[in-house]
Every structure is written in structure tokens, then in C-alpha cells.
């Protein structure tokens, strides 16, 4: 009788291990929609990069213009804003400060990748000088 109880408890223990140990692993065999979409996007981006590659920019003209305009913004230069009518005549709007470059243009990467103690890659903002 005692051996039969021992076998029963062993079978219950084994069943519990299988139920709680294997069932969660089986539940994750099918990726969810977000993971599948992320994997497809990553695969397509990798294929696009392999086919097209990076632009072969050698003169960096736009970067030079952006730097020049940023330096001009730092000087106190008077500028004027005009509007042009349908007949091509200019009409003075106002004195202004500004140049033809959106403020969203950046000549440096505003973020940096850092790795913490657990080897997790994090994207952090660059420290500002001040």
C-alpha cells in the first residue's frame, strides 16, 4: 500500500512538472502578430539594404550648407522676408532673422547606443554641452 501511494505522488509530481514546465514553452511556439510583422519588416529592410546599399555621397554639399547656415545664424546679420505675387513682383513682409533651413536639420546624430551591465543595448540622448 505504501509503495502504491509513493508511486501516485511521483506520478502527480511528474504531471505537475510537465504541466507547468512544458505547457508555457509550447504556448509560445507560434509568434504573435507584432513579432511576425517586426520580423517581416526586418527581413525586408535587410533585403533592401543588400540590393540598394548606401548612397555614395562624396562631396557632402548639403552638410556643408547646413554648417554654413548654422554659422550664419550665429552672426547678427539682418535679413528681410518677401513674398512674390503672381506677376513676379516682390513685396516686403518684414525684417526677419532666419535662413532657408528647417530647425529639424541635424548635422550630428542626436542619439547614441550604450550597453548596460546586463549587455542590453539602449538608445540614449547625447549629453548637451552647456
C-alpha distances out from residue 41 to 11, 18, 55, 113, Å: 46, 36, 21, 21
Task: Provide the whole-model pTM.
Answer: 0.40
Domain residue extents for the chain: 1-54, 57-130
pLDDT of amino acid 86: 95
- pLDDT, tens digit, 9 for 90 and up, residues 64-121: 988 888 888 788 778 888 999 999 999 999 988 766 677 777 777 777 777 777 777 7
Distance between CA atoms of residues 41 and 33, nearest Å: 12
Read off the pLDDT band of 44 (50, 70, 90).
very high
DSSP state of 101: S
pLDDT of amino acid 18: 66
Read off the pLDDT band of 42 (50, 70, 90).
very high
- pLDDT, tens digit, 9 for 90 and up, residues 16-35: 766 676 655 555 567 788 88
pLDDT of amino acid 84: 95
Distance between CA atoms of residues 19 and 97, nearest Å: 71
Amino acid at each position: 500500500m505504501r509503495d502504491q501511494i509513493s508511486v501516485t505522488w511521483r506520478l502527480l509530481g511528474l504531471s505537475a512538472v510537465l504541466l507547468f514546465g512544458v505547457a508555457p514553452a509550447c504556448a509560445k511556439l507560434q509568434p504573435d502578430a507584432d513579432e511576425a510583422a517586426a520580423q517581416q519588416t526586418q527581413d525586408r529592410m535587410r533585403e533592401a539594404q543588400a540590393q540598394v546599399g548606401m548612397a555614395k555621397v562624396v562631396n557632402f554639399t548639403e552638410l556643408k550648407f547646413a554648417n554654413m547656415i548654422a554659422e550664419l545664424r550665429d552672426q547678427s546679420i539682418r535679413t528681410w522676408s518677401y513674398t512674390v505675387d503672381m506677376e513676379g513682383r516682390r513685396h516686403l513682409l518684414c525684417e526677419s532673422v532666419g535662413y532657408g533651413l528647417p530647425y529639424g536639420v541635424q548635422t550630428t546624430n542626436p542619439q547614441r547606443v550604450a550597453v548596460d551591465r546586463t549587455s542590453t543595448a539602449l538608445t540614449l540622448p547625447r549629453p548637451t554641452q552647456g
